[in-house]
Amino acid sequence: MVAYESFTLKNKLKVIVHEDPNTSIAVMNILYDVGSRNESPEKTGFAHLFEHLMFGGSKNVKHYDRELQKAGGENNAFTSQDLTNYYLTLPSQNLETGFWLESDRMLSLSFDPEVLEVQRKVVIEEFKQRYLNQPYGDVWLNLYPLAYQVHPYRWPTIGEKIAHIEEATMDDVKDFFYTYYTPENAILVVAGNVKLENVRKLAEKWFEPIPNGKKVKSTWLQEPTQEEVRIKTVSAKVPQKAIYTTYKTIARNDANFYANDLVSDILGKGESSLLHHALVKEKGVFSTIGAYITGTLDPGLLSISGRINDKYSLDTAHKILNDELESIVTKNKITEKTLQKAKNQSQTQLAFSEVEVMNRAMNLAFYTLMGDTNYLNTESKKIESVTLEEVKTAIEQLINQKRSSTLLYDISSK
């Protein structure tokens, strides 16, 4: 049970406080309700580039990192398709430094052109390091646009191409800041060795004077129902052929999320999963196989991927995978025992994810964004209450070839 209190400032910034006296540190997590799904198709990768700029100086503080380090703090941030999340830890007696720094960059950035130039280069190197200079690194650059044709999930968070990062301007930066980095668009979680009343005082002191911008109701195109099988083949100098296939699934806050999540675990989590057992151990077609669901706020994907043993062609392996999925559905291969096993592993992971106070703070912020802070405390029950019937319905709906998009990854001889 993660206990918390919450309040809202006059500028509509939501604040959540989770006291944990067993630690000597304090953590702050600020989530901004903006991710790559908010980007325009001509300017992809911008939310993430912007995250880098948040460390390049704010109105009154030139060096965010340096000031935080002086107070004994450390920090990081990440951008996803749905959100941008900043987090820091400090010795709890120095908590106010976190308020000073975070409130100043919510107030205004310094918009230093040199910072943009340097971070542009850094992000391009990140793009190369993660997506271009790695075996199979470009999978999602290929697969997202296949699975999504209109929704902004069709490009990865890093951006569709390097050119978009090269073209970003300071006007874009300012627009983005004033549109999305407003108090009303943010969720602040303060946790650890902190006291509610003190956090309230600090929040009122540092954050309340920030004027609330206009809350922009951003909209984007929703993906229509997919009605055809999509397959794309690429080739690269990789050691093994591979298949990456996706099926359309539901959104993170759908009531059936956990049934779908458990289906993905049953199919492809670990060596006792159905696909691993059938296709790696029994048939020897794949050398690895795994599955998960993306869990995005708009309808997401079930991803199944595996590397293929040399003696099977891509097409044969693809057919064998599809047949296996089909037979799991039609032959009722999911039993009470299989389901209970997946639940048990889920519960253990959930318990471990609550060990670190920083994780608890992040989860509180995420569930607040989803609309129910207390979701965190009901997750375990939600997992436990999924029935075999629900799992069977979920898998029947999931495994529909007309909702599938597949990337066949071949070995190029070049």
Partner 1 sequence: MLDRISAPQTNFDIKLPFQLPQATKILSTSNFPFYVLNMGSQDVIRIEWIFENNPEFEKIKGITFFSFKMLLESIKNYTSFQLQEEIASLGAFIDIAIFDERTIITAHCMPKCALEISLLVSKMINEAMFLDSDFQLLKDRTIKNLEISLQKNSYLAQQKFKSQVFGENHPLGKNLIPADLINITIEDLIYFYNEQIVKTLSHCILSGKIEPSLAKEITNINFSSTFKDEKSTQLKIVASNLKPIETYFQKDSSVQTSIRLGCITIPRTHPDFHKLNVTNTVLGGYFGSRLMQNIREDKGYTYGISSSIVSHNGFSYFVIGSDVVKEKANDTIKEINYEIKRLAETSIDDEELQSVKNYLIGHFLNNINSPFSISDKNKFIAHLHLGPDYYNNYLMTLINIKKEDISEMTKKYLQVPLISVLVG
- Contacts (CB under 8 A) with partner 1, residues 53-92: 59-61, 65-67, 69-74, 89-91
Q: What is the C-alpha end-to-end distance of the chain, expressed in Å?
A: 56
**Does 190 help bind partner 1 (rule: CB under 8 A)?**
no
Strand partners, 15: 7, 188
Q: Which two tokens stand for residue 237?
A: 């100098």
Residues 190, 239: Cα–Cα separation, whole Å: 47
Rule CB under 8 A: which of 238-257 touch partner 1? 238-240
Closer to partner 1 by Cβ: residue 228 or 356? 356
**For residue 252, which of 183, 192, 301 has the smallest C-alpha distance?**
301
**Does 93 help bind partner 1 (rule: CB under 8 A)?**
yes
Least distance (Å) between residue 41 CB and partner 1: 25
Least distance (Å) between residue 71 CB and partner 1: 5
**Does 369 help bind partner 1 (rule: CB under 8 A)?**
no
In order of 90, 265, 334, the CA distances from 328 in angstroms are 50, 14, 7
Least distance (Å) between residue 221 CB and partner 1: 31
Rule CB under 8 A: which of 271-290 touch partner 1? 271-272, 277, 280-281, 284, 287-288
**For residue 232, which of 127, 140, 324, 156 has the smallest C-alpha distance?**
140
**Does 132 help bind partner 1 (rule: CB under 8 A)?**
yes
* Residue 240: Cβ-neighbour burial (10 angstroms; 0-12, 13-18, 19+): middle
**Does 104 help bind partner 1 (rule: CB under 8 A)?**
yes
Least distance (Å) between residue 40 CB and partner 1: 25
Closer to partner 1 by Cβ: residue 218 or 335? 335
Catalogue the E-assigned strands of 263-373: 286-293, 301-308
Q: Which stretch binds partner 1 (CB under 8 A): 16-24, 247-255, 297-305, 363-371?
A: 16-24
**Does 374 help bind partner 1 (rule: CB under 8 A)?**
no
Give the 3-state secondary structure of residue 79: strand
**Does 22 help bind partner 1 (rule: CB under 8 A)?**
yes
* Residue 17: Cβ-neighbour burial (10 angstroms; 0-12, 13-18, 19+): buried
**Does 205 help bind partner 1 (rule: CB under 8 A)?**
yes
Closer to partner 1 by Cβ: residue 212 or 288? 288
Closer to partner 1 by Cβ: residue 309 or 401? 309
DSSP state of 98: H
Q: Which two tokens stand for residue 240?
A: 């093994």
Closer to partner 1 by Cβ: residue 113 or 209? 209
**Does 161 help bind partner 1 (rule: CB under 8 A)?**
no
Q: Are strands 230-236 and 286-293 parallel, antiparallel or unpaired?
A: unpaired
